[in-house]
Amino acid sequence: MPYPSTYPPPPNGPGYCPRCLEVVIWATTVNRRALAVDPERDPKGNQAVRQDATGRWLVRQLTRERPVPEHDEHLHMPHVATCKVPAPPKPRRPAAPRHRRGVRPNPRWGR
C-alpha cells in the first residue's frame, strides 16, 4: 500500500498569477509541479497543454523527440515569459569568512 503524499496537490485549472493577478491556467508537469500558462493559444508557445478525461490540465515541454503538439494538445506560452511584474530578486547570503579551525598534524614533523 503506497504511503500518502506529504505534499499538497499542485493547483490545477484556471486561476490567477500571484504576482500580476492576471488569469492563467495552472497545469501539472510530468514531475507533478505546477506551471502557469497563458490561457490564450499561441503558435509561438513552447508548452503543449491538454486536459485529460478527469479534467486535469497537463503540460509538457516541446522537445527534439516530440517537437509538435499531439492530437489533443495546444500550444501555449508559459506565463513566466509574459508576466509584467518581474520576479523579486533572490536575497544574497553574506559571504562567511573562512576561518581556520585547526591544523592537521604533518607526520614528518614528529621525526
In which element (H, E) is residue 15 found? strand 13-16
Q: Which domain holds residue 78?
A: 13-82
Question: How far is residue 2's CA from residue 93's CA, in Å, rounded to a whole number?
Answer: 39
> Contact at 8 Å (CB) between 25 and 15?
yes
The model's pLDDT over 10-57, given as tens digits with 9 standing for 90+, comes to 789 999 999 999 999 999 999 989 999 999 999 999 999 999 999 999
Does a structural domain hold residue 1? no
Cell digits for 9? 496537490
The 10s digit of each residue's pLDDT in 85-94 is 988 888 887 7
Let me know the angle formed at the C-alpha of 63 by 73 and 81, rounded to the nearest 5 degrees. 75
Domain-embedded: residue 37: yes
Beta bridge partners of 35: 27
What domain count does the chain have? Answer: 1
The answer to whether the pTM exceeds 0.75 is no
